[in-house]
Amino acid sequence: MAGLRERARRAVQAELAAVALELFTERGFDEVTVDDIARAAGVSKRSFFRYFPAKEDAVFGGVQVMGDDIADQLTARPAGEPPWESLHAVLRDWVARIDAESRATLRLIERTPSLRARFQQRREEARSRIAAALAARASLDPFTADLLTSAAGAAVDCASREWLRRGPDADPAHLLDTAFTHLRPACTTP
């Protein structure tokens, strides 16, 4: 039953995040209040704060879910697969989901200093969960798991920035493949 409750919580959180992002995109982050988001989503301000500790966190509602899902997907990868290949496969699947809404979110984050800072904090938390899952899955020491996860994060960051520069016709999955190929660490096998 806890699984069902958690899925329902994630669905509400995702809906609130979508409403918030739409308002932020229309009006600008600083011009939107928590009351505006709650009203547009049909919930109380108090309900909003049950899902997000601050307005900035509504932009990143998917980051924690993403980190948890990536960690779960890494755990499910084939046992003999090298850790770098596992990271590449799982992250490629996530990058393939990038769409126009993701582009709008990335641009909003780039334009808003408080969002950039919160984004880095949230990504670091997700990266830690992913590194722990990678270490457990591939029997890696914490340093190597952290190194590989950080390198994979750098590959995603560079591919995302290039995707923003090139525009909507660029293929984010191809950019990620290129980044992973160029960045392949020497320690790619356990």
CATH of the domain at 49: 1.10.10.60
Residue that terminates a domain, selected from 36, 58, 80: 58
Assess whether 35 and 75 both reside in one domain: no
Are the beta carbons of 116 and 60 closer than 8 angstroms?
no
Instruction: Specify the CATH number for the domain of residue 139.
Output: 1.10.357.10
- Prediction pTM value: 0.76
For residue 187, which of 93, 91, 85, 94 has the smallest C-alpha distance?
A: 85
Q: pLDDT tens for residues 160-175?
A: 889 888 887 888 899 9
Domain count, the chain: 2
Q: Are residues 26 and 109 in the same domain?
A: no
Q: Does residue 190 surpass a pLDDT of 50? A: no
CB-based contact 78:143 (threshold 8 Å): no
Of 43, 58, 73, the last residue of a domain is 58
117-166 confidence digits (pLDDT tens) = 888 888 888 899 999 999 998 889 999 999 999 999 999 989 988 988 88
Q: Is a pLDDT exceeding 60 seen at residue 1? A: no
Q: Note the pLDDT tens digit of each residue in 45-73.
A: 999 999 999 998 888 866 666 778 889 99
Helix axes 83-95, 113-138, angle to 10 degrees: 140
Which residue range is the domain that position 9 belongs to? Answer: 1-58
Among 101-115, 120-134, 170-184, name the one with the lowest average pLDDT: 101-115
**Is 133 found in the same domain as 52?**
no
